[in-house]
Chains A and B, each alone.
Chain A
Amino acid sequence: MLHFERWKIIAIVMTCMAGIFFTLPNFFSKETVESWPSWMPHRQLPLGLDLQGGAHLLLALDTKELEKDWLTTMRDDARKQLREAKVGFTGLGIVGNAVQVKISKPEDLEKAKQALDKLVLPIGSALMGTGANDISVTVSGADTITLAPTEPGMQHRVSSAVSAAIETVNRRVNAMGTSESTVVRQGSDRILVQFPGLHDTTLLKDLIGQTAKLTFHSVHPTMSAEDAAQSRPPVGYKVYPGVEGEESGRSYLLRDSPVVSGEDLVDSQPGFDSRTNEPIISFRFNQSGARKFGNFTKDHVGQPFAIVLDNKVLSAPVIREPILGGSGQISGSFTVESANTLAVQLRSGALPAKLTVVEERSVGPSLGADSIEAGKLAGLVGLLLTAILTTVAYGTFGVIACVGLLVHGFLILALMTMIGATLTLPGIAGFVLTIGMAVDANVLIYERMREELRNGKSPIAAIENGFQRAFVTIFDSQLTTLFAAIIMFWLGSGPIRGFAVTLTLGILTSVFAAVTVTRLLVALWLKNAKSKGRITEVPV
C-alpha cells in the first residue's frame, strides 16, 4: 500500500502539475493571458451570469396560438380540397380543437374523405419510424368529417416552431451587437436566452416579445369596416383594428389573404422621412415580392392598401402610383427606438407564434463583481480555517493533508476550466463546501492510524492499515454525497446545476487528493524516516 512504482509517482506528480498548469490562466486578467505564448493554456473559467452580470430569460412559445393558426390553415386547405374535388359541403368550421365539415350529399362522403386524406402528412423522423400522421381524418355520423391534429402531429409542429423561433430570436439578439449570447431550447416548448453583460432587459424583451408578422393587404373597395362589423364581413374579408397611436380606435375591412408578406422582405432599415422628418422604416422586397407588389399597386392606383403588423393595421396609405422598384417605406406613429426595434424584427423574420417571458433573472455587473470578491474571500478564509484545524489536529500528517487540500483545489478548478463549466455563486459555495468535506477522507484515515497505534501496531503497519481500512468508509460516504449531487443536477435550474457540478467534481478530486496524493507524501515521509533509522513515532 505504501510502495509506489516509479511510473505511478510520475503519473501522480504529472496530474498535480497539470492541475496547476491549467488553473493558471484563472489567476490573471484576460489581456495578460492573451499575450502568453501559444504553448501556455489560455482557457479561463467562464463566469456565470450571476457573477459577471447578465440576463437570463426563459421564454415560452404560445402553443395555443400555434394550434389556432394550424386549424385555420387546415380549414382553408380543406375548403380548397373539397372545391377541387367538386364536393358540396356546408358548415365548414373550427369546433374546439378540430375542423369539422358537413358533406351535403351522402354519396359524396367517400370522395370527400379521399380528398381530405390528401392533407394528411406522415411525420418524417428517422428515429421514431413511420406510422404517425400529423392529422387524423375521421368520419362520424352520416355526413360529418372531422380533421384533428394528432398528439405527435402537434408535438412535431411545436418542435419545429421552437426551432424556427430559436433561429429568429438568435438573429434578433445578435442584432443587439454581441455574439456571446446563447439561445437554446429547453423542454418541449421553451427557449432559454442568456445574455452576458446585459442587465436592463427592456430592449431585449421588446425585441423578442413581438411576433412581427408583417403583411400587406388590399382594402375592401366599397364596404366600410363599421358596416362589415354590423352585418357579416364578405367571404375572404376580415375586420382589422388599427395599432395604438395614430391608428387607434380605427378599423379596416381587409382581404384576409395578404398580397405580400414579411417573408418576401430582404432588408429593412430605420430612417427618417425626408419631408416630415418622422421616423420611418424603409424596406426592400425580394424579386417575387417586388413583382407581386408591383402588379398589385399597378392595378390599384388611387385605392388604399393596408400595412398590417401582427394583425393590427400600422397604416393604410392610398396608392398614388405603381411601386415597381420593390422598395418602399412604412410610416406610422414610430419613435426612433420603436422604428429601430421593428426594423430589426422585420429583418430577422417573424416568429411562428408569440413568445412570453415565463422566468427572468438578471444581475447587474456591480452585484456580480461584489459576489466574486465575496466568493474569493470566503474561499480563502474557508481554506485557511480548514488548514489550521487539520494541522492542529494531525501534526505533520495534517500538513500533508493540507497539501492534498491544495491539490484538490487546483484540480477542481482545472477540471472545471477544461470541461468549460461555468463558475456560479452557488458553484463557489460548492467549492468551499468540498474543501471542508475533502478533509473528511484524511480525518478518517488519520483516526484509523491513531487507533491502530493505540492497539499496539507498529508504526508502519498502523500507517498502512489506516489507509487500507479507511478506504471502504471513504468510498461509502463519498458515494452518498455523489447521489445527492446527481439528483441536484437533475433538478437543475442553472445556479443549482453549478453547485451540483462543483460538488461532483469536488468529490472526485478530493478522493484523489486524500487517497492518492497524501498517501504518496506519507510514503515519502516514511522513506525519509527510515533512512534516519528505526521509526518509533508517527507524527499524526
Chain B
Amino acid sequence: MFFPIPDFKGFDFFPHGTRLPFMKYKGLALVMSVVLMVGSVALFLVHGLNYGVDFKGGSLIEVQSKSGPADVSEVRKKLNDLGIGDVQIQAFGSDTDLLIRVEQQAGDEAAQQVAMKKVVDALGDGYVQRRIEVVGPAVSSELRSTSIIALIASLFAVSLYVWFRFDWQFAAGVILSLLHDVLLTIGIFSLFWLEFDLSIVAAVLTIVGYSMNDSVVVSDRIRENLRKYKRMELNELLDLSINETLSRTVLTGMTAIAGIAALLLFGGEVIRNFSLAMLLGIVIGTYSSIFIAAPLLGFIGIKRDNLVGGGSKTAPGAEKSNKKEPAGAV
C-alpha cells in the first residue's frame, strides 16, 4: 500500500529524562502567586477597570477621515463644546481612523441617542462613520450582572466537574489556579488601563476553559503516577508528573499562542484587546497549572488508597486500558 509522506522523526522539545525541579520552588511560586492575586484584587478595588461602553454605558463612534490623516485636536475642539460631558478621542489603527467615546449621559436611554447625534452632526461631512455603539443604562447594567454571573457559573461548573472526576484535593488546586488566572488577567487590564468590555469576558471564560484543560491533563498524570509508583515520595512524584506532561503543556501552549499571535498581529484593531487578553490568559494559565495546581497538592497531601476511579465513569473508550490496571487499585 502506498503512503505519500516519507518517514521522518519530529524534534523533541523536552527529551526523555528532563527533570526540572519544579517542586523545589513550590513555596516561592505559591507565595508569588498569592501576592500577585492579592495585588490584582487591590488594583481592581483601588484603580478599578477601564470599562467599555458595554458595561459603563455611553457611546462609541469609530470614524474615518475622508481626506488625509484625521486631526485629533481639531475633532476635539469640535466635540468639547457640545455639552455632553467627557469625550475621549484616540487614534485607532491607521492615522485616518479615530475612536470617539462619549460618557453615559444623565437621564434615560433617549439621552444617549441625542448625544450621539450631536457628535455625528458636529463631525460633519469630512468623516465616514465606521462603527457606532450606543449602550443605554438599562442594558449596560444587565450586561454587568450577566457577566459576573457567567464568570461565577463557569468557575462553579468546572470546579464541580473536577471534584466529580478527581478528589477534592485536586479540585482545590484547580480552582485556585483558575481563580489565579481570572484575577491576574483582570489585574493586568486594570494596571495597563486596557478597555474591559464584553469580549474580554468571553476571553476570560475561554481562558478558564483552557487553563482547566491544562490542569486536568497534569492532574490526570498525577493520578496515574500515584497508582503506578506507590512508594514514591509525593513531591518527587508531582515533579515527575509535571515533567512528563511538560512537552505537551508547552507545545499546546505554543500552538495556541501561534494562533492568537496571528489574531493579535493581523486580526484588526477591533479584536486587538480580545486577542491580547487571550494571549495573557494562556501564558498565565500555563504557568498556573504547573506552579499552582500541582504544588498545592504537595502542600495539602493526598491519601493514595481512596483515589476516585479513572476514566471508566465518563469515558467508555477508556475501559480497555483500565482492565490492565483495575481502577482504584493500589
B253-268 vs A, Cβ < 8 Å mask (1 yes, 0 no): 0111111111101111
Residues of B within 8 A of A390 (CB): 255
Interface of A is mostly: helix
Q: Is the CB of A479 within 8 A of B205?
A: no
> Any chain B CB within 8 A of the CB of A121?
no
Per the bound structure, the CA–CA distance linking A444 and B157 in Å amounts to 24
Indicate if the CB atoms of A491 and B216 lie closer than 8 Å.
no
**Chain B residues within 8 Å of A473, by CB:** 216-217, 220
Q: Which residues of B contact A490 (CB under 8 A)?
A: 150
- Residues of chain B within 8 A (CB-CB) of A433 are 206, 256, 259-260, 263, 278
Say whether B150 contacts A60, CB under 8 Å.
Answer: no
Known: A200-B129, A393-B10, A537-B9. 10 other contacts (CB 8 A): A358-B109, A358-B136, A362-B129, A429-B274, A429-B278, A468-B320, A472-B220, A484-B206, A487-B154, A539-B10
**Which residues from chain A contact B220 at a C-beta distance below 8 Å?**
472-473, 476
| A353 contacts partner chain B, Cβ-Cβ < 8 Å | no
CB neighbours (8 Å) of A79 from chain B are: none
Q: Return A374 CB to nearest CB of chain B, in Å.
A: 3
26 CB contacts below 8 A, A to B, read A356-B136, A359-B134, A361-B132, A362-B133, A366-B130, A382-B259, A395-B7, A432-B267, A437-B210, A437-B252, A439-B251, A443-B248, A443-B251, A468-B321, A469-B318, A472-B317, A476-B314, A480-B209, A480-B213, A487-B150, A496-B198, A499-B206, A500-B202, A528-B1, A528-B3, A531-B1
Known: A377-B266, A493-B143. A475 touches B10 (CB 8 A): no
Given contacts A392-B11, A472-B310, A476-B311, contact A493 B198 (CB under 8 A): yes
Taking A491-B150, A493-B143, A503-B206 as contacts, is the C-beta distance between A436 and B7 under 8 angstroms?
no
Would A468 and B317 count as touching, CB distance under 8 A?
yes
Q: What are the residues of chain A within 8 A of B244 when measuring CB–CB?
A: 451
| Chain A 431-453 interface residues, beta-carbon cutoff 8 Å to B | 432-433, 435-437, 439-440, 443-444, 446-447, 450-451
The prevalent SS among residues of B at the interface is helix
Tell me the minimal C-beta distance from A458 to chain B in angstroms: 16
B-chain residues with CB within 8 Å of residue A399 when the two chains form the complex: 5
Q: Which of B13, B259, B274 contacts A386 (CB 8 A)?
A: B259
- Tell me the chain B residues, 237-259 only, with Cβ under 8 Å from chain A: 244-245, 247-248, 251-252, 254-259
Chain B contacts for A503, CB-based, 8 A: 206
Residues of B near A155 (CB, < 8 A) are none
Please name the residue on chain A nearest to B258 by beta carbon: A385
Residue total for B at the interface (Cβ-Cβ under 8 A): 91
| A286 within 8 A of partner (CB) | no
Asked whether any CB of chain B lies closer than 8 Å to the CB of A360, the reply is: yes
**What CA separation (Å) do A136 and B324 show in the bound complex?**
71
Q: A361 — nearest CB in chain B belongs to which residue?
A: B133
**A window 180-215: CB within 8 A of B:** 199-202, 205
Q: CB-nearest residue of chain B relative to A376?
A: B266
A8 lies within 8 A of chain B by Cβ: no
For window 402-439 of chain A, which residues contact chain B by CB distance below 8 Å?
425-426, 428-429, 432-433, 435-437, 439
Q: Does A375 contact B (CB under 8 A)?
A: yes
Q: Are A382 and B258 in contact (CB under 8 A)?
A: yes
Is B271 interfacial (CB 8 A cutoff)?
Answer: yes
**Are A425 and B315 also in contact (CB < 8 A) when A364-B128, A443-B251, A480-B216 are?**
no
Are B113's CB and A393's CB within 8 A?
Answer: no
Most buried by B among A202, A392, A483: A483
CA of A503 to CA of B258, assembled, Å: 17
**A60 engages B138 (CB within 8 Å):** yes
Residue B158, interface by CB 8 Å: yes
Q: Which 9 A-B pairs have the closest CB atoms?
A: A484-B209, A472-B311, A436-B259, A374-B268, A385-B258, A528-B3, A436-B256, A395-B10, A382-B262
Residue ID in chain A nearest B174 by CB atoms: A480
Q: CB distance A205 to B113 under 8 Å?
A: yes
Smallest CB separation, B240 vs chain A (Å): 12
Which residues from B are CB-within-8-Å of A444?
Answer: 217, 248
Kindly state whether residue A396 has any CB partner on chain B within 8 Å.
yes
- A426→B202 contact, CB < 8 A: yes
Do A58 and B139 touch across chains, with their CB atoms under 8 A apart?
yes
In this complex, what residue of B is CB-closest to A478? B213
Within 8 A of A (CB), among B113-143: 113, 116-117, 128-136, 138-139, 143
A432 with B259: CB separation less than 8 A:
yes
- The chain B residue with its CB closest to the CB of A400 is B5
A105 to B71, CA, bound (A): 78
Cα-based distance from A442 to B10 in the complex (angstroms): 13
B216 adjacent to A477 (CB under 8 Å): yes
Contact residues in B for A447 (Cβ distance below 8 Å): 245, 247-248
Output the nearest chain A residue to B9 by Cβ-Cβ distance.
Answer: A395
Let me know if B132 and A360 touch, CB within 8 A.
Answer: yes
Query: Please, how many angstroms separate the alpha-carbon atoms of A529 and B6 in the complex?
Result: 11
The smallest beta-carbon distance between A130 and chain B, in angstroms, is 33
Distance in Å from the Cβ of A115 to the closest Cβ of chain B? 40
The reply to whether the CB of B88 lies closer than 8 angstroms to some CB of chain A is no
Q: Give the nearest-CB partner of A397 in chain B.
A: B10
A175 contacts the other chain (CB 8 A): no
Q: How far is the CB of A46 from chain B (nearest CB, A)?
A: 19
CA of A425 to CA of B270, assembled, Å:
9
Give the distance to chain A from B203, nearest Cβ to Cβ, in Å: 9
B262 near A496 (CB under 8 angstroms)? no
A488–B5 CB distance below 8 A: no
Judge whether B16 is part of the interface by a CB distance below 8 angstroms. yes
A488 to B206, CA, bound (A): 9
Residues of chain A contacted by B150 (CB below 8 angstroms): 487-488, 490-491
Q: Please report which residues of chain A, range 486-539, place their CB below 8 angstroms from some CB of chain B when the two chains form the complex.
A: 487-488, 490-491, 493, 495-496, 499-500, 503, 524-525, 527-529, 531, 537, 539
A528 touches B9 (CB 8 A): no
Q: How far is the CB of B60 from chain A (nearest CB, A)?
A: 9
User: With contacts A393-B13, A528-B3, A540-B9 known, is A481 near B129, CB below 8 A?
Assistant: no
- Decide yes or no whether B82 CB sits under 8 A from chain A: no
B132–A481 touching, CB < 8 Å: no
- Tell yes or no: B146 within 8 A of A by CB: yes
Closest to B108 in A: A356
Q: Is the CB of A528 within 8 A of B136?
A: no
> B136, B261, B311: which contacts A359 (Cβ < 8 A)?
B136
Asked if B64 is at the interface of the complex by the 8 Å CB criterion, the answer is yes
Residue of B nearest to A447 (CB): B248
Select from chain A the residue with minimum beta-carbon distance to B275. A429
B214 neighbours in A (Cβ, 8 Å): 477
Task: Determine whether B193 belongs to the interface, using a CB cutoff of 8 Å to chain A.
Answer: no
Q: Residue on A with the closest CB to B2?
A: A528
B208: chain A residues within 8 A (beta carbon) = 484
The answer to whether A364 and B10 touch across the interface, beta carbons within 8 angstroms, is no
- Distance A528 CA – B136 CA, assembled complex (angstroms): 65
Which of A370, A436, A491 meets B257, CB within 8 Å? A436
Complex partner residue of A396 from B6, B278, B317, CB under 8 angstroms: B6
